Amino acid sequence: MTLPYSRPPVLLTFPFRLFFLLTGIYGAIIIPAWLGLFLAGWSLPVGPMPMEWHSHEMLYGMVPAAIAGFVLTAVCNWTGASPLQGYRLLALGLIWLAGRVVIWNASYLPNIVVAVVDLLFLPVLAAYLFVLLQRHGNKRNLILVAVISVLFVGNLCMHMGYAEGSLLLVRTGKIIALDVIALVMVIIAGRIIPAFTTNWLRLNKPDSNGAKTFPAIEYLALISTLLMLPTDLFIKSPEVAGVIALTAFLANAIRLAGWSGWKILSEPLLWILHLGYSWLVLALLLKSMSAFGLPTASAWQHALGTGAMATLILGVMTRVVLGHTGRPLKLPRFATLIYAAISLAAVFRLLTAFSVMDYQIGLMISGVAWTLAFALFVLIYWPLLNQPRVDGRPG
């Protein structure tokens, strides 16, 4: 006897639905908790190094959820494979959630339990992608498997640092995450921004040239950004690190200019992606300058994190949800406030890093704006994520 086929709940029909929702919810929770811990003296059971907790959860908690939502959705287009869905998708989501639970309760648990549970998500994600890409002969995107694997190594460093009380290991894990996430943005944004821009210009400004790409610059942008990690980890020469970061800045700045962002300023779903990449370019410049002792290291890290990372995550999520639920690519009502809020958060966090304004006030303004951006995403997009495609197609 064959049981009738049962469709999974809508949230479990495609990876972007579950993981984008988790990203939005966690983004709205993590910063208020951090501000309470840091500014209000809340006592949270987050382990032996509470001051490093929020960095870990931003880099190894929220960002991997966003990566999973995008990559597991995009891999279906790359390979023609069916999406991860149903119980298997739920299991992956629960692995991610279990990591958050143990991290938030690390003071009550043995270090080994916290580490094993939290470390599980990235290798499971990498293994699934590897098998799928190999099965379909898609070797071009295996670089993302390597990137996710290196991200796992960075997370391992942080957990080893927690266990040994080594701030050096913890900060090594943080540097690995920052450099790897910069590379992920160069790879993924470098594919989608010029493609989306060119498609929009062809439809709306047919007399205008599309986004331009230059093969030599593409390779230089990728290679110079890739070299930042081994330089930071093994060469440990500020001058060499500064030159590598400066090269990455110049290559990515030329790349961004070629995409002709000024031509699409009337389309929020596009200019937010260009703005996010502009934050990445600025972060690379600040990284180069910090290597020569000009601004603090905090400046480039927050330009990358609060600026590039958060802006691109929200920009990609707000667009992908529309396209993959069969809706027109038109930003929902009030959704531009998401972009305004995250931009405000990035500006004030950078001003604070440069000591241009009072630290606590700047941190509060930035934190409230960040929280508003992610909370608005959840409020506006939850109904879209939890409803079937409007065109009746599966997904």
The percentage of the chain sitting over the pLDDT mark of 90, rounded to a whole number, equals 86
Q: pLDDT digit string (tens) for 7-42? A: 889 999 999 999 999 999 999 999 999 999 989 888
CA dist 280 and 348 (Å) reads 16
* Residue 59 domain flag: yes
Residue 3 has pLDDT above 80, yes or no: no
Amino acid at site 112: I
* Count of C-beta atoms within a 10 Å radius of residue 76: 17
3-state helix, strand, coil in the chain (%, to 5): 80, 0, 20
- CATH number of the domain encompassing residue 224: 1.20.210.10
On whether residue 394 sits in a domain, the answer given is no
pTM score of the predicted model: 0.95
Residue 44 falls inside a structural domain: yes
Domains held by the chain: number: 1
Q: Is residue 64 part of a domain?
A: yes
Q: Which stretches of 292-309 are DSSP H helices?
A: 297-302
* Structure confidence by residue, pLDDT tens digits, 114-151: 999 999 999 999 999 999 999 998 988 999 999 999 99
pLDDT per position as a tens digit, 181-193: 999 999 999 999 9
Alpha-carbon gap, residue 78 to 273, rounded angstroms? 21
Q: Are 224 and 254 in contact (CB under 8 A)?
A: no
Residue 5 domain-assigned?
Answer: no
Q: Which residue has the tokens 């972060």?
A: 283
Instruction: Tell me if 82 is assigned to some domain.
Output: yes
Q: What secondary structure does DSSP assign to 43-79, as a single string?
A: -----S-HHHHHHHHIIIIIHHHHHHHHHHHHHHHHH
392 domain residue, yes or no:
no
Domain that holds residue 320: 10-385
CA–CA separation, 21 vs 382, rounded Å? 7
Residue 39 resides in a domain: yes
Cβ neighbours for 88, distance < 8 A, ≥ 6 positions apart = none
**If we measure between CA atoms, which residue out of 200, 217, 198 comes closest to residue 209?**
198
Q: What is the largest CA-CA distance in the chain?
A: 72
Across 324-328, average pLDDT = 93
Mean pLDDT of the chain: 94
Residue 211's nearest CA partner among 257, 260, 251 is 260
CB of 323 within 8 A of CB of 329? yes
Contacts of 346 (CB under 8 A, 6+ apart): 279, 302, 303, 306, 307, 310, 311, 366
Phi, psi of 94, deg, nearest 5? -70, -35
